[in-house]
Amino acid sequence: MSYITSFSTGVLLHLSLFRFGEWDLYTPHFLAGATILPGIATFGLLHLGGPFLARLSNVYITSLSVKKFHLFEEVQSLHAKYGDIVRVGPSELSIANPNAYHLIHSNQSPCEKGPWYNILHPVKSLHMLRDRKEHALRRKTWDKGLGTKALRDYEPRVEEYTQQLLSFLKKKEGSPVDVSTLFNFYSFDVMGDLAFGKGFDMLKEDVVHYYMTSVHANMLAVSAFSHLVWIFPLLKAIPGLNREHIIFQSWLTDQVSARRAMKIERPDLFSWLLADYESAEKPTAQNLIDLHGDAHLIVVAGSDTTAASLTCLFFELAQNPSVLQQLYEELDQYFAENEQPTATTLSKLDYLSACINETLRLHPPVPSGLQRMTPPEGLQLEGTYIPGDTIVQVPTYTLHRDERAFVQPNEFIPERWTSKPELVKDVSVFSPFGTAVRAAKGQDSTGAKATARKLKKRELDRKAQRLARERTKNRIHELESMVELLKADAFNPELFNLVTTLNQVKQQRDELQIVTGSPNTWRNANTALGKTTALSPAQLAIEDFTSEDTPVRVILDGWDNVAKAGHLK
């Protein structure tokens, strides 16, 4: 229908306007009007701050993209000036708010993927699928190919290229090495093997492969024009301008065809995707196009992000010698106990995982965040209404450096993931690869998710303890008042003894230091009190409190018993 509408509009304009007079010199004015008028007509976002030019056209945010190709830094500067919500286009918002992250990206979010995900049309790889049901169906195959067992099966392939990487470094010993290029060689070789059944031999030959050059060129174009998505179908359709696109698609088709003809002895990720494709009774032309897209996704998603993260990790280690030394010590101990490293055992190295997590926090592979579109009814964010069908992005780079989520957010402190969890205020916003059900598969291998779960549990435990303490204090006050009334009513020997014992507990609350879960808890308490008549273990149970607050539970149980004893005449 859209093609018919476009064709009809073009014919109508030609017949009614453009065939009369000369319009050649007015082309720039028409293009400017086509980009500015929609911005002027977007009234729903007038209450939100941002640069004036951003309201008129997406050309403004595009100019920031190509300025240094560090749009995430430009966006962070805009947030520093305009606040949490910044209008970066006629109908686009950048939202740097921890609560917005969950509102927009959680599993229950009503937001959908935005128009950016159509830039590869008609190719629809898993990552570019906008339909939730179709995405969930396709993801099942990827889940099998990236499951724990499957990842273990890929280890021999990864080990082969790791040895090539070490050999490369050995040959370059004593000379400077561009680790950014080297890690790209490594990651592209590994992922090429998992996608096409063979690497690109870049580590062996020390030569950049066509595929890597093409991928980086495409990514540069996507980075530059991600806010002018209408340009991409135009470039792919115009003869001459689409030459590189045609060459690349032809090369990709040849690679997939060659891989389908192979007899694979060692498992790879593409095997799962191919099996799913061939299981269809009558695969369509679109199914084949999508298979090509998924093969391309395997390499791009696993190579560029890995290379960038490794480069940033080594940069931070070079800048922080004390961290490097501690990591050396952990690795030395590990290799002294493990002759052959495996992903499973390496994932248990706490400080290594912490260094990786901290690198991903400061240098997320997707720094600008993922594009989403609000539902037709719009969204409410802390009292601010965001109209429907508005494009929104939560900039990961900015959020990971937000003081509301992390203490000393701009500092490289791996200990925040191990011995200093208090430096993480809101671990739930840490998601360098994306979040929710449509997040990047395979990211668990970094250990980030497991660490996030641990920190989230600690955070919830602390909140639960604070709540329990407040409730306990209120309960103690109520019981104290009750006991005073009971004492005034009549003297009760049992009541007197319990009150005396309880007061002694209160006086020595700083000396008890009862450890949670200790089997000798009640005996330790009685010893500290110097009593021969013990309070029961139930009365001394302190499972919900840390050692410094232990006596508060003892006091509460004691007052309960005092209140009950007051009724014994």
* H or E stretch covering 373: strand 371-373
Is a pLDDT exceeding 80 seen at residue 380?
yes
Q: Which residue has the higher pLDDT, 444 or 373?
A: 373
User: HSE (CB half, 13 Å, CA atoms) of 429?
Assistant: 27
Residues 56, 140 share a domain: no
Six token digits for residue 384: 């601010």
Q: How distant, in Å, are the alpha carbons of 408, 443, 461 from that of 414?
A: 12, 19, 22
Residues 374, 267 share a domain: yes
Specify if 361 maps to a domain. Answer: yes
DSSP per-residue letters across 394-448: --HHHHHT-TTTBSSTTS--GGGGTT-GGGBS-GGG--TT--STTSPTTGGGGSH
Q: How many CB atoms lie within 10 A of CB 418?
A: 17
Q: Residue 482's pLDDT band (boundaries 50, 70, 90)?
A: low
CATH code, domain with 279 = 1.10.630.10
The residue-averaged pLDDT of 182-189 equals 96
Specify if 138 maps to a domain. Answer: yes
Q: How many CB atoms lie within 10 A of CB 137?
A: 12
Residues 478, 430 share a domain: no
Look at the chain and report how many structural domains it folds into: 3
Specify if 467 maps to a domain. Answer: no
Could you give the 3-state DSSP secondary structure of residue 336? helix
**Could you say which of 394, 428, 446 is where a domain stops?**
446
Specify if 324 maps to a domain. Answer: yes
Q: Cα separation of 279 and 282, whole Å?
A: 9
Residues 76, 211 share a domain: no
User: What's residue 8's pLDDT?
Assistant: 75
Residues 438, 296 share a domain: yes
Query: What is the residue-averaged pLDDT of the chain?
Result: 81
The backbone torsions φ and ψ at residue 558, rounded to the nearest 5 degrees and listed phi first, read: -65, -45
Q: Name the β-bridge partners of 95.
A: 85
Q: Cα separation of 258 and 484, whole Å?
A: 88
Is a pLDDT exceeding 70 seen at residue 536?
no
Let me know: does 448 contact 364? Beta carbons within 8 Å.
no
Percentage above 90 pLDDT, the chain: 58
Specify if 23 maps to a domain. Answer: yes
User: Is the overall model pTM greater than 0.85, yes or no?
Assistant: no
Residues 83, 133 share a domain: no
Specify if 465 maps to a domain. Answer: no
The residue-averaged pLDDT of 172-178 equals 91
The tens digit of pLDDT for each residue in 279-299 reads 998 999 999 999 999 999 999
Q: Letter for the amino acid at 440?
A: A
Residues 431, 293 share a domain: yes
Residues 251, 165 share a domain: yes
Let me know: does 47 contact 82? Beta carbons within 8 Å.
no
Let me know: does 203 contact 168? Beta carbons within 8 Å.
yes
* Structural domain range at position 25: 2-95
Q: Cα separation of 101 and 373, whole Å?
A: 13
Could you give the 3-state DSSP secondary structure of residue 490? coil
Specify if 100 maps to a domain. Answer: no
Residues 85, 145 share a domain: no
User: What's residue 42's pLDDT?
Assistant: 58
Q: Letter for the amino acid at 406?
A: F
